[in-house]
Amino acid sequence: MNVSKVCTRLSVTAALALAVVFGATASAQERSARQNLVQLISSSQSIVAGTVTTVSDGIDGNGLPYTEVTLMVGASPKGSIKQGAYTFRQFGLLKPRTLPNGKRMLMVTPEQFPQWREDEYVVAFLYHPASKTGLQTTAGLAQGKLVKVNDKLVNAYGNVGLFDNISADAGVLSSDERALLDSKGPVKTDTLLGLIHHIVSDKLVERGAIR
């Protein structure tokens, strides 16, 4: 085996993968721009809540570095993902690894992407898988993964901007839901999940009742 050719193929494939991950439907800047809850719901293909059971990484047959995440889904407010185990792959390794020729592959998960840890309870706004690679991550990148801490949900940015610039028609939301839109920082898990279910099941975004 010609190791130098393998390494070259790895580099080219990874570069193409980054282009797919970041630019399939929007630029990296657009994907990572601050998004509120309504925007996260609108741009996600699926929304799931559950516990991360396994996290591993590897390099696939095309030389593409990935992190593989399995969630035990308990609730799925949006999309076709059913309760039970759901596995997806996100671009990048958990940490650099040594190749057969002794060189180091440094293509770890980009900083703007969510980080996954076993046993954490998460609510994930999953973007659709990339058409060419099947790689998947969250809408809004790290914004679109909320972790349960002391019965409250919070993303990597402390929920900054999560409820900014959201308005709803009179009578559409309950008093608790309206109060949630005025909150800052971590928010109660049941209340946020209830609001997400409400927005999705009653098609509030599609009807223009919340925006």
Checking if the pLDDT of 187 tops 90, the result is: yes
- Arithmetic mean of pLDDT, 183-201: 97
Task: Estimate the share of the chain in helix, then strand, then coil, as percent rounded to the nearest 5.
Answer: 30, 30, 40
β-strand pairing of 145-149 with 46-59: unpaired
Checking if the pLDDT of 10 tops 70, the result is: no
Sheet arrangement for strand 65-78: 84-91, 65-78, 46-59, 121-126, 145-149, 152-154, 187-188
What does the block give as tokens for 9?
A: 């193929």
The fraction of the chain above a pLDDT of 70, given in percent, is 85
Please state which of the ranges 14-18, 43-47, 88-92, 113-117 shows the lowest mean pLDDT.
14-18
Our count of domains for the chain comes to 1
- Would you list the DSSP string of 14-35? HHHHHHHHHHSSS-HHHHHS--
Which CATH number do you get for residue 108?
Answer: 2.40.50.120
Q: What is the pLDDT of residues 61-98, one digit of tens each?
A: 888 999 999 999 999 999 999 999 999 999 999 999 88
Q: Which residues pair with 148 in a beta bridge?
A: 153
Calpha distance 154→176 (Å, rounded): 18
Of the pLDDT bands very low, low, confident and very high (cuts 50, 70, 90), residue 13 is very low
pTM for the complete prediction?
0.85
Q: How much is the pLDDT for 196?
A: 98
What does the block give as tokens for 198?
A: 């409400």
Of the pLDDT bands very low, low, confident and very high (cuts 50, 70, 90), residue 32 is low
Domain hosting 105: range is 3-207
Q: How much is the pLDDT for 31?
A: 52
Of the pLDDT bands very low, low, confident and very high (cuts 50, 70, 90), residue 139 is very high
Residue showing tokens 């928010």: 187
The fraction of the chain above a pLDDT of 90, given in percent, is 78
Checking if the pLDDT of 34 tops 90, the result is: no
Checking if the pLDDT of 149 tops 70, the result is: yes
Q: Which residue has better confidence, 45 or 32?
A: 45
**DSSP character for 192?**
H
Residues 6+ apart with CB under 8 A from 35: 43, 139, 140, 143, 144, 161
